[in-house]
Structure 1
Amino acid sequence: MTVTFGETIVLVTAVMSNRPRAEDIDFLPLTVDYEERMYSVGKIPGSFFRREGRPGQDGILASRLTDRSIRPLFPKGLHNDIQITMTILSSDMENPPEVLGMVGASAAIAISQIPFNGPVASCRIAYIDGEYVVHPTYEQSKESTLSMVVSSSRDSILMVEAGANEVSEEVILEAIGKAQEANTATIDMIEDLKRQVGKPKLEVEYDQAGADAIIAKIKEIVGSRWSDLLARNPGMYEMDEGEHEISALVTEALKDDYSKNAIGDGFKAVFREAVRSRILQEHVRSDGRAMDQVRPISCDTGVLPRTHGTGLFTRGETQVLSIVTVGSLSLKQTIDSVGPDNTRRFMHHYNFPSYSTGEARRAMSPGRREIGHGALAERAILPVLPSEDDFPYAIRIVSECLSSNGSTSMGSVCGSSLSLMDAGIPIKAPVAGIAMGLITGDDGEYAILSDIQGLEDFLGDMDFKVAGTDAGVNALQMDVKTTHLTQAILKEALEQARQGRLHIMGKMNEAISEVRGQMSEHAPKMIRMKIEVSKIGALIGPGGRVIRAIIEETGTSINVEDDGSVTIGGVDATML
Structure 2
Amino acid sequence: MHPKRELLVAGRKIGVEFGENLGMLSDTALFMSYGETVVLLNTNASEKPRDGIDFFPLSVDYEERMYSVGKIPGGFIKREGRPTEKAILHGRAIDRPLRPLFPKGYRNDVQVIATVMSVETDNLPEILAINAASTALLLSSVPYTTPLAAVQVGLIDGEFVLNPTSAEREQSKMFLTVCATEEKVMMIEAGAQEIDEETMIRGINYGFDACQPIINFQKELWAEFGKEKKVPVLYTLNEEVETAVRAFATEPMKAAMHIADKEERAKGIDAVKASVSAEFSEKFPEKKYDISETLYNIQKEVVRDMLIFEKKRVDGRRFDEIRPLAADVSILPRTHGSGLFTRGNTQVLAVATLGAIGDEQILDGVGQEESKRFIHHYNFPSYSVGETRPMRGPGRREIGHGALAEKALEPLIPDEETFPYTIRLVSEVLSSNGSTSQASVCASTLALQDAGVPIKRPCAGIAMGLFTTDDLALEEVITDIQGVEDFFGDMDFKVAGTTEGITAIQVDTKLHGLSEYCIRTAIEKAKTARLEILKVMEGAIKESRPEVSKYAPKIFIIRIDPEKIRDVIGSGGKTINKIIAETGVKIDIEDDGKVFVGAQDIEKAKEAIRIIEGITKDVVPGELYLGKVTKITTFGCFVEILPNKEGLVHVSKLDLKRVEKVEDIVAVGDEILVKVTEIDNQGRINLSRRDALHDLEKKEKEAKEKEASESK
CA distance in 2, matches of 1:8, 1:207: 40
Checking the alignment, whether the CA contact within 8 Å between 1:377 and 1:410 is kept in structure 2 is: yes
Name the SS of the counterpart of 1:224 in structure 2: helix
Instruction: Say whether residues 1:52 and 2:52 are aligned partners.
Output: no
- Which residue of 2 is the match for residue 557 of structure 1? 586
The alpha-carbon deviation at position 243 of structure 1 amounts to: 2.0
- Which residue of 2 is the match for residue 507 of structure 1? 536
Checking the alignment, whether the CA contact within 8 Å between 1:77 and 1:204 is kept in structure 2 is: no
- Which residue of 2 is the match for residue 493 of structure 1? 522
Instruction: Say whether residues 1:260 and 2:288 are aligned partners.
Output: yes
- Which residue of 2 is the match for residue 299 of structure 1? 327
- Which residue of 2 is the match for residue 228 of structure 1? 255
- Which residue of 2 is the match for residue 145 of structure 1? 173
- Which residue of 1 is the match for residue 102 of structure 2? 74
CA distance in 1, matches of 2:243, 2:531: 44
Query: Match for 1:450 among 479, 502, 507?
Result: 479
Q: Which moved more, 1:179-188 or 1:260-269?
A: 260-269
The alpha-carbon deviation at position 402 of structure 1 amounts to: 0.6
The alpha-carbon deviation at position 199 of structure 1 amounts to: 1.0
For 1:56-455, list aligned pairs within 5 A.
56-206=84-234, 214-235=241-262, 237-255=263-281, 256-257=283-284, 259-441=287-469, 442=471, 444-455=473-484
CA distance in 1, matches of 2:527, 2:145: 33
Checking the alignment, whether the CA contact within 8 Å between 1:211 and 1:266 is kept in structure 2 is: no
Name the SS of the counterpart of 1:369 in structure 2: helix
Deviations along 1:387-423, whole A, 9 cap, x unmatched? 1111111100000001100100000000000001101
Checking the alignment, whether the CA contact within 8 Å between 1:424 and 1:518 is kept in structure 2 is: yes
Q: Residue type of the partner of 2:561?
A: E
Instruction: Say whether residues 1:34 and 2:62 are aligned partners.
Output: yes
Q: Which moved more, 1:242-251 or 1:494-503?
A: 242-251
CA distance in 1, matches of 2:457, 2:364: 32
- Which residue of 2 is the match for residue 474 of structure 1? 503
- Which residue of 2 is the match for residue 547 of structure 1? 576
The alpha-carbon deviation at position 207 of structure 1 amounts to: 6.2
Identity of aligned residues (%): 44
The alpha-carbon deviation at position 443 of structure 1 amounts to: 6.5
Query: Match for 1:465 among 463, 487, 494?
Result: 494
Q: Which runs of 4+ in 1 moved over 6 A?
A: none
Judging changes above 3 Å, is the alpha-carbon distance between structure 1 residues 487 and 212 closer, same or farther for their aligned structure 2 residues? farther
Q: Residue type of the partner of 1:571?
A: Q
- Which residue of 2 is the match for residue 516 of structure 1? 545
The alpha-carbon deviation at position 552 of structure 1 amounts to: 1.8
Name the SS of the counterpart of 1:18 in structure 2: strand
CA distance in 1, matches of 2:48, 2:167: 45
The alpha-carbon deviation at position 12 of structure 1 amounts to: 0.6
The alpha-carbon deviation at position 224 of structure 1 amounts to: 2.3
CA distance in 1, matches of 2:548, 2:73: 38
Query: Match for 2:561 among 522, 525, 532?
Result: 532
CA distance in 1, matches of 2:428, 2:238: 41
CA distance in 2, matches of 1:217, 1:447: 31
The alpha-carbon deviation at position 152 of structure 1 amounts to: 1.1
CA RMSD of aligned residues (A): 1.5
Judging changes above 3 Å, is the alpha-carbon distance between structure 1 residues 381 and 111 closer, same or farther for their aligned structure 2 residues? same
Checking the alignment, whether the CA contact within 8 Å between 2:49 and 2:233 is kept in structure 1 is: no
Question: TM-score, with normalisation over the residues of structure 2?
Answer: 0.79
CA distance in 1, matches of 2:572, 2:235: 74
Q: Residue type of the partner of 1:359?
A: E
Checking the alignment, whether the CA contact within 8 Å between 1:93 and 1:338 is kept in structure 2 is: no
Deviations along 1:160-191, whole A, 9 cap, x unmatched? 11100100111111111111111111111111
Name the SS of the counterpart of 1:287 in structure 2: coil
The alpha-carbon deviation at position 488 of structure 1 amounts to: 1.9
CA distance in 2, matches of 1:423, 1:178: 40
Q: Residue type of the partner of 2:94?
A: T
CA distance in 2, matches of 1:177, 1:217: 47
Name the SS of the counterpart of 2:298 in structure 1: helix
CA distance in 1, matches of 2:599, 2:437: 33
Deviations along 1:276-303, whole A, 9 cap, x unmatched? 1111122211111110110001111001
The alpha-carbon deviation at position 264 of structure 1 amounts to: 2.2
CA distance in 1, matches of 2:449, 2:579: 33
Name the SS of the counterpart of 2:552 in structure 1: coil
- Which residue of 2 is the match for residue 6 of structure 1? 35
CA distance in 2, matches of 1:511, 1:277: 39
Checking the alignment, whether the CA contact within 8 Å between 2:373 and 2:423 is kept in structure 1 is: yes
CA distance in 1, matches of 2:167, 2:61: 26
Query: Structure 1 regions of 5+ residues with no counterpart?
Result: none
Question: TM-score, with normalisation over the residues of structure 1?
Answer: 0.97
Q: Residue type of the partner of 2:232?
A: V
Largest Rg, 1 or 2: 2
Checking the alignment, whether the CA contact within 8 Å between 1:36 and 1:59 is kept in structure 2 is: yes
- Which residue of 1 is the match for residue 21 of structure 2? none
Aligned positions, number? 573
CA distance in 2, matches of 1:338, 1:64: 17
Deviations along 1:440-497, whole A, 9 cap, x unmatched? 1246222211110111011001100000000000000001222473212221211111
CA distance in 2, matches of 1:212, 1:570: 72
Checking the alignment, whether the CA contact within 8 Å between 1:75 and 1:117 is kept in structure 2 is: no
Relative contact order: is structure 1 or structure 2 higher (C-alpha 8 Å, sep ≥ 6)?
1
Checking the alignment, whether the CA contact within 8 Å between 1:16 and 1:81 is kept in structure 2 is: yes
Checking the alignment, whether the CA contact within 8 Å between 2:438 and 2:460 is kept in structure 1 is: yes
Checking the alignment, whether the CA contact within 8 Å between 2:257 and 2:299 is kept in structure 1 is: no
Checking the alignment, whether the CA contact within 8 Å between 1:218 and 1:270 is kept in structure 2 is: no
CA distance in 1, matches of 2:252, 2:438: 33
Judging changes above 3 Å, is the alpha-carbon distance between structure 1 residues 538 and 223 closer, same or farther for their aligned structure 2 residues? closer
Deviations along 1:247-267, whole A, 9 cap, x unmatched? 232233333336122222222
CA distance in 2, matches of 1:84, 1:195: 21
Checking the alignment, whether the CA contact within 8 Å between 2:180 and 2:513 is kept in structure 1 is: no
Deviations along 1:362-387, whole A, 9 cap, x unmatched? 11111111111001000110111111
Judging changes above 3 Å, is the alpha-carbon distance between structure 1 residues 192 and 207 closer, same or farther for their aligned structure 2 residues? same
CA distance in 2, matches of 1:172, 1:52: 37
Q: Which moved more, 1:250-259 or 1:168-177?
A: 250-259
Checking the alignment, whether the CA contact within 8 Å between 2:385 and 2:431 is kept in structure 1 is: yes
Checking the alignment, whether the CA contact within 8 Å between 1:432 and 1:469 is kept in structure 2 is: yes
- Which residue of 1 is the match for residue 616 of structure 2? none
CA distance in 2, matches of 1:111, 1:355: 45
The alpha-carbon deviation at position 76 of structure 1 amounts to: 1.6
